[in-house]
A and B are shown apart, each in its own frame.
Chain A
């Protein structure tokens, strides 16, 4: 679709950038491996100075103590250290958006954020959206209402991107929301139904906020 005239989005002060990622790497004192599969107590790198450090993360409203390596990505920490497998890895290279989470309300690709750089930020993943009593978040409910998504491997990324976008523009047009989630790929290509479901979610949110 051609570009719509977008409402002013305001500042996105914590927008993700390559520069930020690289700065994080430098601060961590480690080079990014061409393969960022860096796990557990690495036998190889455990002895060469990239060992774990115990840090505290604020994830889904809980303080979680976790050992992380300097070069460890947030997606890895969430999935393999904290058991939050709702965040998916579709490419591990900031191309598909399946790993999108919110950092202080701003969507980020968690495959491209180093865990130790987010110690002072609130991390929100798909598991933190629903109420403790099980009531779904209005966006999740919108997906239920419209049978949005097919295989749903991309779903948590889309939902988190939408949650972040709606914080800036709570009443978007279809075209605006489409732009807001255009950093997320769905290979089932179910975009029309996804957009309908997420628009329904936005509507649910506005209704919920008015009550």
Chain B
């Protein structure tokens, strides 16, 4: 048992919500029976291997595969020419979004990063496939390439794609690639170590920035670089596919089972009803598998061509190339403080390294998060999302949030030291509260949060961490060891609305929840349905959750990304449980007389208030089948999504079928918040440092499943800590070649990199804008975990050690000796 704070009680008013329990997937996991994509086998299964581009940017002029195809055992080859044209997206309201001509398709004739798949070969075994790949000859024509965003922004700099180097947003349409070059003056004006601030495609502001800076007691202007960090899911995006009776059966990891189906349909350009997608267990996502990876269509298409099942095992090195990463930022912030430490003006400028494909939202989100988290009285945000010939990026836990917070937090820490204000106090006075406003402004007005109780979390966390005591500790240095303490805040979007719930009460009196959520380890796939069981008053042992296979009929479900799920799907779970309750009451009234509202649902029964008469869930389910219509799924509610309607129809007649859309109102946008405290010990003779103590105090609304929440709060914290203590990409910029391709080049934190007892707690204050009060948690812990370690480092060593993350032992040693930050202040991927 670790610290008791990790085991405190939540939700005393509930039976299931806020309680620990054993999730239904755990037994299969501990016994090794849980099947991830690479654990499936099919009769006659072939293996495929990929041919990856050795060049960062080139055109494929000729492919000579004759020798490879003549090899015994080689069954099929797949090139970009075999890929179906990607389909347009049709939204629920009928809007057609044209498929982007810059989109990633899985294979290409114009590789735009080293390691991009060009073709794939299927053979009877993997060695034969690998040998065949070796025997394929390709003629490339080299094209200009760029690995550092600033290099392509220079006048005359190379473009990463033939038609441009930046993403620009377009009103009402998908963003487009365009060319943007800054001037020589932009670069020289900035001077060494400062980020040049040329033209940007996007900008917003509010308040009077100029007067804010004029009246500020202190203005700090700093440049900071954040690292690109690969998601490195322990399960690579291996996939297996086969076709049967005109349907494709696809196995691969995803964060979002139900929502991956339309993605596959789009990539393969076939109808969704021709796809069965199976993903019961996923070995980590963190944003890199929101709807799986486009590479999954490779075995699907090869399987069709070879008329046999195809397994595509992705190696760790391949995963580094195609497995996604967080965009690194080159950022600059000028922040004006009043003498009390209040932020009166904030001018933020970021360059996001997007990689070569789809536009990532990190740059714009970073402004939104900084605005909400520190409530500046006036603010301007400018940003540019730059393409480079480096592996594709995607959202990673707290996309944009981590980067923004990591850039501003050291500035706040420095300002507090300069102004002589306590680090907790300066954050307290800038902290969001209640329906806190934030930018960007929409139609001239600031947006606002649903709620924020972060001040409470900060205060309680400081007490729990014994902040004052630690700050007052004297001396900070003993021998070569120096202690430092850091505090940081973070926030992130914590939920969406408008999805559907679907459940069946079966004639044996059990409740079956249809869960379209992905099973990526957070347990939200099961946890959210505890809300439904709570409302129906049925013991959890009488419930079953069905997940992980689209042939089992799921409702319209959010993607598990951006910390939406717990909020969005507890709302849907609430809605559908209320629908089921209403139907149970109606069935009882119909059979036993009286009005539906005369009946209470509890203890697996529906009974008339104050009387003995009633019926069991089993009887009601049987009665629902007899009544038909809306009671057993032969009619679906009109307002649910068409996906839900199809599932309701498929389940019709199995019992009492309840389906409902989350129509609950919400004022404001849902966010979650965390305050974080870290103590570190640095050995100034070796540069080695350890995080010796760590506490995360979360404001995430109602706690649904404490252990799962604790796993997220601390797990995502350590992801953030990895950004501070060592993770990054390194490139050979001359050849555009990645150097950090394996775990030992870019090692995620191990168990020895974190304190032996980490602490977490949650406020458990319900969000007032959602019926259950629960918000999401995946993203919020990440940014402030990274920043609290950085802040602890500067507390120990001063402000002249680093101006980029991660901070390694050698950074500390050389900077201590020089008395200034020595690492290159701006260059990417060093």
Which residue of chain B lies nearest to A39 when distances are taken between CB atoms in the complex? B125
- The answer to whether residues A190 and B522 also contact, given A130-B31, A152-B29 and a CB cut-off of 8 A, is no
Q: How far is the CA of A90 from the CA of B742 in the complex (A)?
A: 11
B752 touches A182 (CB 8 A): yes
A79 to B124 CA separation, bound complex (whole angstroms): 17
Measured in the bound complex, the distance between the Cα atoms of B31 and A159 in whole Å is 10
B1 close to chain A: CB less than 8 A: yes
For residue A54, CB closer than 8 A to chain B, the reply is no
Residues from chain B with a CB closer than 8 A to the CB of A154 are 234
Given contacts A86-B32, A188-B521, A193-B710, contact A95 B125 (CB under 8 A): no
Q: Say yes or no: A41-B125 contact (C-beta < 8 A), given A152-B29, A185-B743.
A: yes
Query: Is there an interface contact between B715 and A188, defined as CB atoms closer than 8 Å?
Result: yes
* Contact call B316/A191, Cβ cutoff below 8 A: no
Residue A153 lies at the interface, judged by CB distance under 8 Å to chain B: yes
A195 in the interface (beta carbon within 8 A): yes
Interface residues of B in 1-47 (CB under 8 A from A): 1-2, 6, 20, 22-23, 26-27, 29-36, 38-39, 41, 47
| Contact of B31 with A136 in the complex, beta carbons under 8 Å | yes
Chain B residue numbers with a CB within 8 Å of A96 are 234, 316, 743
Whether B758 sits at the interface, judged by CB under 8 Å, is: yes
Q: How far is the CA of A116 from the CA of B98 in the complex (A)?
A: 55
Summarize A's interface: helix, strand, loop or mixed.
Answer: loop
B173 CB–A CB distance under 8 Å: no
Question: Inside 8 A of B592's CB, which chain A residues have their CB?
Answer: none
B residues 309-348 with Cβ under 8 Å of A? 313, 315-316
Q: How far is the CA of A184 from the CA of B756 in the complex (A)?
A: 16
**Measured between alpha carbons, how far is A95 from B316 in the docked complex, in Å?**
10
Known: A43-B72, A92-B316, A189-B719. A1 touches B31 (CB 8 A): no
Confirm or deny: B754 has a beta carbon within 8 angstroms of a beta carbon on chain A.
yes
Residues of B near A33 (CB, < 8 A) are 127
Contact B36 A95 (CB under 8 A): no
Interface size class of A (residues with CB under 8 A): 35 or more
Q: How far is the CA of A179 from the CA of B756 in the complex (A)?
A: 10
The answer for the CA separation of A91 and B742 in the assembled complex, in Å, is 8
The answer to whether A88 has its CB under 8 Å from any CB of chain B is yes
Contact A191 B754 (CB under 8 A): yes
Size of B's binding interface in residues, CB under 8 A? 80
The B-contacting residues of A in range 120-137, CB under 8 angstroms, are: 125-127, 129-130, 136
Cα A193 to Cα B706 with chains together (Å): 11
Q: Does A1 lie within 8 Å of B758, measured CB to CB?
A: no
B32 touches A85 (CB 8 A): yes
Indicate if A23 sits at the interface (CB-CB under 8 A): no
A1 touches B26 (CB 8 A): no
Choice from A45, A136, A152, A189 contacting B715 with Cβ under 8 Å: A189
Given contacts A43-B128, A44-B131, A92-B316, contact A188 B284 (CB under 8 A): yes
On chain B, the residues within 8 Å of A130 by CB distance are: 31
Q: Tell me which of B31, B47, B522 has the highest count of chain A C-beta atoms within 10 A of its own C-beta.
A: B31
Contact of B681 among A2, A151, A182, A190 (CB under 8 A): A2
Query: Are A147 and B281 also in contact (CB < 8 A) when A98-B234, A130-B31, A153-B234 are?
Result: no
Residue of B nearest to A2 (CB): B690
B233 at the interface (CB under 8 A from A): yes
B250 at the A/B interface (Cβ < 8 Å)?
Answer: no
Complex: chain B residue closest to A41, CB-CB = B125
Interface assignment of B718: CB less than 8 Å from any CB of chain A? yes
Q: Are B31 and A151 in contact (CB under 8 A)?
A: no
Provide the residues of chain B in CB contact with A155, threshold 8 Å.
29-30
Across-interface contacts of A174 in B (CB, < 8 A): 2, 756-757
A192 cross-chain contacts in B, Cβ below 8 A: 2, 6, 710, 714, 754, 757-758
Which B residues touch A126, using CB under 8 A?
31-32
Inside 8 A of A152's CB, which chain B residues have their CB? Answer: 29-30, 34, 281, 283, 521
- Check B756 against A1 for contact (C-beta < 8 Å): yes
CB neighbours of B755 from chain A (8 A)? 1
CA distance A4 to B626 in the complex (A): 68
- For residue B124, which residues in chain A have a CB less than 8 angstroms away from its CB? 40, 43
Cβ-defined contact, B131 with A153, below 8 A = no
B630 to chain A, nearest CB (A): 38
The interface bits of chain A over 15-44 (1 if a CB of B lies within 8 angstroms of the residue's CB, else 0) are 000000000000000000101011111111
Contact of B718 among A79, A125, A189 (CB under 8 A): A189
- Tell whether, in the assembled complex, residue A151 and residue B520 are in contact, meaning their CB atoms are under 8 Å apart: yes
Q: B718 and A144: CB pair below 8 A?
A: no
21 A-B pairs with C-beta separation under 8 A: A1-B752, A44-B127, A88-B235, A90-B236, A90-B316, A93-B743, A144-B22, A144-B26, A147-B20, A150-B523, A153-B36, A153-B235, A181-B751, A188-B521, A189-B748, A189-B749, A191-B749, A192-B714, A193-B715, A194-B751, A195-B756
Interface pairs A-B: 5 shortest CB-CB: A86-B32, A150-B521, A153-B283, A151-B521, A43-B73
- What is the interface of chain B, defined by CB distance below 8 A to chain A? 1-2, 6, 20, 22-23, 26-27, 29-36, 38-39, 41, 47, 49, 71-73, 123-128, 130-131, 231-236, 281-286, 313, 315-316, 520-523, 681, 690, 692, 707-708, 710-712, 714-719, 722, 742-744, 748-758
